[in-house]
Structure 1
Amino acid sequence: MNQNKIVYIGSGLAIAIVLFIGGILIGRFAIPRPSNTIDISTETKHSEEEYITIWNNFKQQFLDSISAHEIESNLRDYAQQTHLAGTDDDRLEAESIAGKWRGHGLDVTIHPYDVLLSYPDPIQPNIVSIFDPNNNLIFQSNGSESIFSEDDKSLPFHKIVRPFLAYTTNGTVRSQKLFYVNYCTMDDFRFLETVLNKDELNNSIIICRYGKIFRGNKINIAEKYGIIGVILYSDPIDVVPSSNISNLTYPNSIYMPEMGQQRGSALTLSGDPLTVHYPAKDYMFRTPIDNNPNLPKIVAQQIGYKEAREILTRMTGTSVISNWTGGFHQVRYVYGGFLSDNLSIQISSYNTLQIRRIHNVIGTITGHIEPDRYVLIGAHFDAWNFGALDDGSGTAVNHELARVFGSLMKSNWKPRRSLMFCAWAAEEYGIVGSVEFVEEYAKILGSRVVSYLNMDVIVEGTELMFMEMSPLLYDFSIEISKQVKAPYTSETIYEQWIRHNNGEKDVGKKFFTMGLSANSDYAGFNQIAASSNLAMIYKNQTIIKNIGTYPLYHTQYETFRLVKEFIDPEFQTHQAIARVIGLAAFTLTDIDLLPFNPERYHEALVDLLTLTKSVAPQSINFTSLQIAIDQFKNAATQFNYRVQTTLDKSNPIQLRIVNDQLMQVERAFQNPLGNSIEQSTLKHTIYAPSRTNRYNARGFPTITDAIEDRNITNIQQQISIVTYFIHSAITVLQSPNKIQSIL
């Protein structure tokens, strides 16, 4: 690791590398003692340099062993099949993963859960239709995506899952009123209220485009407005180039063809909707499906943008404002109302809800000094179809990391802490498998997990790597990036960041996102276990528009061919990000003093307070929160100084106490009651999704939700609650010898 400053400190069994960031101690490496390299009986005769050499040799062996060819082979095998959760193929895949990992020397366990999943009808597709006043069919959607001659003929297209929105209700709804609501955000609905009477939306159907927010939130907001059906589509302005559409879409590029349709879940919570807060085991009571408050109540269906054009051209009403206009040429985007020529529009959905068994796979390398402290690496292995990007990319790398770490074990490498590899089931349905696992083992994971490293769509481009993290891991992430070469270049990832940051070394503001959302398998670890977690992705900034992801997301076109021909032909990007994630895991399992810097959390709190004040009413008093943040800074600074100057690094008890304090900082921000009644599964008071968008982590979520409600009393109450949890984090950082008063 390229530390800014390295200090070698050692005695007897504990030899370490001390990391200083800007003069602040943030971590120290414990050097493993391979039994074939150093005879324990003569261990004390060996120098610090020998221990450091041993550790660096293992690190280099790890980095050199990550193979682009192996990852490519893993992805090719993965993308030859469909991966719908809860099916027989899904069970067989879990068993296959377990077998592979046992072959690498991991201690493997399988964790089953019986959860509520949603499926389209195998025969009757969900469709959108338009009828004339005499009930003659004028238009009908196809209910499927096109298959192209360029696609691999050996792929099991007969197993493809038709486009549907999981958990949306079945049934048929019809209306003569159709409204266009842009991206179906809360702001879009509020703006629409200024254009027309809110009551006009009641018992109507709406059409809106994918993007900006989570699809489930679109449907949830629409339901609150009395809407009976939602049609979603990907607008050309977001998923295709601005010109020459037909020649620049799949199968000729990464862009969405005219019949492409994004599948996905409409569930707005994480985990099994029948056993919220508790694991979906056979002994657990299940909330009845009928009138279940966690399930959508209205019909919804996606269509291709070719079909959306047919619908939009039949709408009437006032032309929309410019930023509501999409990418169709010669189509007038209107707010809507009654359809032209007394037409009516109908959505027919044939979805079913079924309780199915899913299986998580956990492979463990047991730590030899602190086996009860866990570093976890995870990727989900389910997908809506072939899933070459989501999450074939993460699964392929997960297998490669298991292989390489297994090889290190055969070279007598032993981690200080336990390293767990996780293959999660049913992530696509709403982070189901991983959340059930965290719920079942919440008591031990809440006290033992150091970090969870997530791999979900880790490669969707090759230009730049972006990271999401707890602020505690900011400096650690910088240091890791200095040690891995960026793909298709001679630069390190850190050097690449600097070049794209106008030469400035403060790369975090551009390439790091502080706090993680709830839209992947880190959700349970963020909101329940409350560990300090990390996720990363390589992507191309140039193609990202309002959809926030790659154009072919959740379509049947996520094939191996897509990745090999258009995204990462030599798999150097997969190799680079495997090295980053693997090196992070390698370091976190072996380092003696955890590389968490609480001063970075203070910086994040300051930024969040500034942003929150900018949107709050002038009358709101933030004094108590400001004082708490200032006190947190003092506590973090004093903690780092105390560690640097007084910690006896050869004393395992002192080391354990300090590491426990660092692990408890994140946990101190967790509200065990949940952030609100309607979001009781979200517990992190500093970073959590808002009520209206599960995709993005929002700072001070309860305060900002109250600000959106314009409820002055609740704003002040939420400020006081967040202040309390910052005080809790301060007490964690204080000397553990006694309980000290803050004020």
Structure 2
Amino acid sequence: MGDKAQYEHLPIPTYEEATSSRPASSQSRLGPEEISDDAERQGLLVSARNYRPPTVESARPSLDSLDGIEQDGENEVRREMQQMDIEDPLSDASSNRSLLRYRLSKSFSSFTNSFSSLTLPSFRNYLSNIRWPSINYQQLDANRVVILGRLFGVFLIMGVLYVLIASDVLSFGRNRMGMGQMYDPESIRVFVQNHMNDHGHMQKYLEHITDFPHIAGTEGNYVLGEWVAELFKAGELEDVEMEKYEVYLNYPRKDGRRVAIVEPEALKWEARIEEDQEQALVFHGHSKSGDVTGPLIYANFGSREDFKRLDDEGISVKGAVVLVRYYGSQGDRALKIKAAELAGAVGCIIYSDPAQDGFVQGPTFPDGRFMPEDGVQRGAVSLMSWVVGDVLTPGWPSTPDNKRRLKPEESAGLNKIPSIPISWNDAKHLLEALKGHGKQFSGDWVGVPEVEYWTGNQDSPKVNLKNIQDEETKQPIYNVLGKMSGWEQPEKKIVVGNHRDAWCTGAADPGSGTAIMLEIVRVFGELRRLGWRPLRTIEFASWDGEEYNLIGSTEYVENRETQLREDGVAYLNVDVGVTGADFHAAASPLYEHPLMHVINRVSDPSTGKSIREIWDEQGRQIAGLGAGSDFVAFQDIVGTSSIDMFFKGAKFPYHSCYDNFEWMARYGDPDWSYHKAMGEIWALLILELADKPLLSFQVTSYASALAKYVDDLDAYAKGPADSQSLDFSRLREATDFLSQQSQQFHTFDQSWRDFVFGSGGFESSAMGAARIDHNDRLAQFETHLLDLRDGGGLANRTQFKHVVFAPQVWSGYDDATFPGVRDMIDVGNWDGAQVQVEMIASIIKDAATKLNT
């Protein structure tokens, strides 16, 4: 093959160019003569001046312009595959697919060889040994004798075939095992592990991903989506498409943001707001537009408990502009603002304190991994644990033809006061101005040890917070989708996802996960070219709009609710793929068995031990699922069992423009070894769920986890001062019943193995049908844990249907179990909590019963 052309970077606008000079109307659009004739680009955030847009041709790169990323030579892969014990699961004829079939099991080979060489005995030999009635052959026409003989031979052959089919020796269904065609799954796994990032594709992918900002709904993210789509096609995925939704997004105006001390005159000062490395404007996604002024008050981490302490100390925040820091006792930035709003504040400023996110932790970028003093953490402030997805279409998809939408002021997912993020460089001036006002707190209200942290009060200096922005109620976003159809159960779907949009260039979040997913697509594409296909369909998804309240994935789910509840087997998510060396996973308990099996065969690059050995040594467990990434809609709305995985390190310049390729290459994963390990884990887990005849989920693990969850809930109920006794007896009975039913259900696993191995690897049609039914029941288990009654779901948050997993009202990102009960306990509604307990127990018992009936 000739040398491929170097990919010429598209003329992506700077963020200032992309967001400047916009008219005040939130519905303004630029005409095609000002952008291009590409209809897909109309409505994307672009500037009308100083910008030469890419042409339609340049915006859609060809397979020869993928930024210099070379695909492995086909001949090289052929040679490697010829040395491996892999056999084509299909019987379609293709020259390269036949490579996977060259070595069959000995028993099957001997059978097929003897069957293919089978010749019928001469009828004359048999006729000579049998006494037939005397017939005068001279009276018969010679042609009739020939015809009768041929008919006899045909009937004999048909009889033999009938006996073989009836006895299941031959089966002409789509059951590969019935045909006796077996491939070695271990060879597939070895191939995947050996080829993961073997030519450094991941770092090449990430270098291109981080070339320019790609915020949701902007042209940068659309062009990046087209590039991803081309790589999906190069990876042999089918039905590759860019699925469009129209959703509510906001964008900042450069001169529309301000944080300034305006009184007294002697303290007048204005924040810079921006980072030194300005590539994208600083703002909060889904923030309230406004211009407010009030006394400045410091409220620590902005939790409800922090505001209560201020109130207890006689410090009112009514009419104030509140300053709070990231992380701490309230991890969700949106809930910090909601707590401030409920306490009476008119605006909220959130900053990155070095105690949690900067030089107190260690050296800052570029000298170390932590947030520099001018770094700003952007992020959405929509209330993800209240409304997920497009905040104007909760519960239904934002497809272009769907006219049903709320007004922004009607949405429960949006805060009602303006907010903005700032850096430590700006925040320390505000803290200095508070000295002598209110009370000086110590302990957990203090960040940097050398700085005094005063609360401020109504006599504090007055601060102006301005956040004037453009608001688009129908901004286009695009999910990129592509699939590899399963040959046995193509309707059953394993969805593999990572989001594409970032607040700036996003090397760790989400670029590392995107690069890993693209490498998995490439490796699976090599297998597909050589004839392999999974049993069940694998669909890869590059989500748009995740940073704005998980929009892309949620709209995808809401657009397919019925289909996913019936046929969704699993959702496998990687968001921030790699920031360190510690492997973490949050998942449905069904994943315990397959995940432990997978990480047992993947080595930790630093120690050489298996990831499983380190997992066990450190006593880690699979965490519960909260509301932090694209798994939410799958797990909580349609009951598709989900997992979220990542390699974690110390904090990094999260959601800032310092999360760039240089940071990843120097501090995140310098030798890219943990990217490779994450790729192996992700790919092997896909194979566990998409290509094992017997689905490897274990309901027994779920039953064990539920028993622990009930104990945790019992302890939670006894925590409040006004706690009352809740009766958990029915809930415990339901979990015990599930344990019994799950053990009975999984007796099939061994029965199936005994049958198949006892018959030399053959599976009868009846056993194949029983296996598929078993898998279907297993895949449906979590769907049966949804509250699908009329009006069902969590109180005032009916999008969330799962009775075990969903975020609590005030938990935000944190994992929570039995959220309906916990929410009632939090507000002191003990009768409502008991009703929830009884309802959940009934749903769990019904789900357990359906396993075996």
**What TM-score comes out, normalization by structure 1 length?**
0.86
What does the per-residue CA deviation read over 1:449-468, in whole Å, with 9 as the maximum and x for residues that have no partner? 11111010010112x10111
- Cα separation, 1, equivalents of 2:307 and 2:807: 19
Unaligned 5+ runs, structure 2: 1-85, 91-96, 111-176, 718-722, 757-762
* Partner residue in 2 for 1:437: 556
One-letter code of the match for 2:327? Answer: G
Which residue does 2:458 correspond to in 1? 338
How far apart are the structure 1 equivalents of 2:106 and 2:640? 35
The equivalent residue for 1:563 is: 664
Deviations 1:423-466 (A, max 9, x none): 1111111111111111111111121111111010010112x101
Partner of 1:629: 735
Q: What is the CA–CA distance in structure 2 between the aligned matches of 1:209 and 1:255, rounded to whole Å? A: 16
Distance 2:225 2:106 in 1: 43
User: Is contact 2:626-2:813 (8 Å) kept?
Assistant: yes
Q: Which residue of 1 aligns with 2:336?
A: 218
Structure 1 partner of 2:38: none
CA RMSD in angstroms, aligned pairs only: 2.4
1:170 is aligned to: 289
1:153 aligned residue: none
Partner residue in 2 for 1:723: 841
Q: 2:268 aligns with which of 138, 141, 166?
A: 138
In the alignment, which residue of structure 1 is the partner of 2:245? 113
- Tell me the amino acid that sits aligned with residue 427 of structure 2: A
Contact 1:233 1:304 in 2 (8 A): yes
Q: CA deviation at 1:551?
A: 3.3
Say whether residues 1:264 and 2:367 are aligned partners: no
How far did 1:642 drift?
4.6
Once the two structures are TM-superposed, the CA of residue 398 in structure 1 deviates from its matched residue by 1.2
Cα distance in 1, alignment partners of residues 813 and 688 from structure 2: 29
Confirm whether residue 91 of structure 1 aligns to residue 209 of structure 2. Answer: no
Query: Is contact 1:373-1:418 (8 Å) kept?
Result: yes
| Cα shift at 1:39 | 7.5
Other-structure match for 2:572: 453
Q: CA offsets per residue over residues 559-605 of structure 1, 9 Å max, x none?
A: 10000011211100000000000011122111011111111112211
Q: Which has the larger radius of gyration?
A: 2
Rounded to whole Å, the distance in 2 between the matches of 1:352 and 1:458 is 32
Cα gap change, 1:587 to 1:338, in 2 (>3 Å) = same
Match of 1:274 among 371, 374, 392: 392
Contact in 2 for aligned 1:31/1:590 (Cα 8 Å): no
**Counterpart in the other structure of 2:212:** 81
8 Å CA contact 1:125–1:143 kept in 2: the answer is no
Secondary structure in 2 matching 1:334 = coil
* Maintained 8 Å contact 1:31/1:591: no
Tell me the residue number matched to 2:196.
66
Closer, same or farther: CA 281–233 of 1 in aligned 2, 3 Å:
same
With over 3 angstroms needed to count, the CA separation of the structure-2 counterparts of 1:31 and 1:692, relative to structure 1, is farther
Q: For the Cα contact (< 8 Å) 1:236–1:328, is it kept in 2?
A: no
Please say if residues 112 and 357 of structure 1, whose CA atoms lie closer than 8 Å, have aligned partners that are also in contact. Answer: yes
In structure 2, relative to structure 1, the CA distance for the partners of 1:97 and 1:37 (3 Å cut) is: closer
1:301 corresponding residue in structure 2: 420
Residue 635 of structure 2 aligns with which residue? 526
The amino acid of 2:422's aligned partner reads: I
| Cα deviation, residue 45, structure 1 | 2.0
> Secondary structure in 2 aligned to 1:537?
strand
Following the alignment from structure 1 to structure 2, what is the Cα–Cα distance between the partners of residues 40 and 260? 58
Shift in Å at residue 185 of structure 1?
1.9
Q: CA deviation at 1:137?
A: 6.6
Q: Deviations over 1:102-139 (max 9, x none)?
A: 12211112211111111111x315221112245x7711
Contact 1:71 1:400 in 2 (8 A): yes
C-alpha contact 1:238 1:551 (8 A) present in aligned 2: no
For residue 470 of structure 1, report the CA deviation from its aligned partner: 0.6
The CA deviation at 1:335 is: 3.0
Q: Which residues of 2 match residues 524-673 of structure 1 at below 5 A?
A: 524-540=633-649, 543=650, 550-616=651-717, 617-645=723-751, 650=763, 651-672=767-788, 673=791
**Cα 1:42/1:164, change in 2 over 3 Å:** closer
Q: Tell which deviates more after alignment, 697-706 or 643-652.
A: 643-652
Deviates more, 1:183-192 or 1:684-693: 183-192
Whether the aligned pair in 2 keeps the contact of 1:564 and 1:570 (CA below 8 Å) is yes
> Structure 1 residue 37: deviation in Å?
3.7
SS in structure 2 at match of 1:534: strand
Q: Secondary structure at the match of 2:374?
A: coil
2:322–2:347 Cα contact (<8 Å) kept: yes
- Amino acid aligned to 2:730: S
2:337 aligned with 1:231: no
CA displacement at 1:692 relative to structure 2: 1.0
Query: Corresponding residue for 1:504?
Result: none
CA contact (8 A) 1:481 1:493 kept: yes
Overall identity of the aligned pairs, in %? 28
User: In 2, Cα distance between the equivalents of 1:489 and 1:713?
Assistant: 53
1:689 match: secondary structure:
coil
Contact 1:168 1:351 in 2 (8 A): no
Aligned residues of 1:125 and 1:144 also touching (Cα < 8 A): no
| 1:324 counterpart = 2:445 | yes
- Which of 593, 598, 606 is the equivalent residue of 1:475? 593
* Structure having the larger proportion of residues in strand: 1
- CA–CA separation in structure 1 for the residues paired with 2:578 and 2:87: 31
CA contact (8 A) 1:379 1:422 kept: yes
Taking a change above 3 Å as real, the CA distance of residues 43 and 36 of structure 1, as seen in their structure-2 partners, is farther
Checking the alignment, whether the CA contact within 8 Å between 1:664 and 1:732 is kept in structure 2 is: no
- Amino acid in the other structure paired with 2:786: Q
Amino acid at match of 2:324: C
Give the Å deviation of 1:237: 0.8
Does residue 253 (structure 1) correspond to residue 368 (structure 2)? The answer is yes
Q: Which SS does the other structure have where 1:326 is aligned?
A: coil
1:321 deviation in Å?
A: 4.5
Stretches of structure 1 lacking an aligned partner (at least 5 in a row): 1-28, 148-156, 502-506, 544-549, 737-743
Matched, 1:240 2:376: no
Change (3 A) 1:557 1:450: same
CA contact (8 A) 1:466 1:536 kept: yes
Structure 2 counterpart SS, 1:591: coil
Matches within 5 A, 1:339-354: 339-340=459-460, 343-354=461-472
Deviation at 1:643?
4.3
Q: Which residue of 2 aligns with 1:310?
A: 429
Report the CA distance shift for 1:30/1:451 in structure 2 as closer, same or farther (over 3 A).
farther
1:406 aligns with 2:525: yes
TM-score by length of 2: 0.75
Once the 2 structures are TM-superposed, how far is the Cα of residue 704 of structure 1 from its aligned partner? 1.1
Is 1:711 paired with 2:820?
no
| 2:322 matched residue in structure 1 | 206
- Please state whether the residue corresponding to 1:93 is helix, strand or coil: helix
1:180 aligns with 2:312: no
Secondary structure of the corresponding residue to residue 519 of structure 1: coil
User: In the TM superposition, what is the alpha-carbon distance from 1:338 to its structure 2 partner?
Assistant: 2.6
User: Does the CA contact (< 8 Å) of 1:115 and 1:358 recur in 2?
Assistant: yes
- Aligned pair 1:732/2:850, yes or no? yes
Moved more, 94-103 or 70-79: 94-103
Q: How many aligned positions are there?
A: 666
Rounded to whole Å, the distance in 2 between the matches of 1:41 and 1:345 is: 76
- Does the C-alpha gap of structure 1 residues 579 and 130 become closer, same or farther in structure 2, counting only changes over 3 Å? same
Assess, with a 3 A threshold, how the Cα gap between structure 1 residues 255 and 98 changes in structure 2: closer, same or farther.
same
2:494 is equivalent to residue 375 of structure 1: yes
**Alpha-carbon separation, structure 1, partners of 2:726 and 2:795:** 23
Superposition deviation, residue 46 in structure 1 = 3.5
Judged with a 3 Å threshold, the aligned counterparts in structure 2 of structure 1 residues 665 and 187 are, in CA distance, closer, same or farther, namely: farther
Query: C-alpha distance in 2, partners of 1:424/1:603?
Result: 33
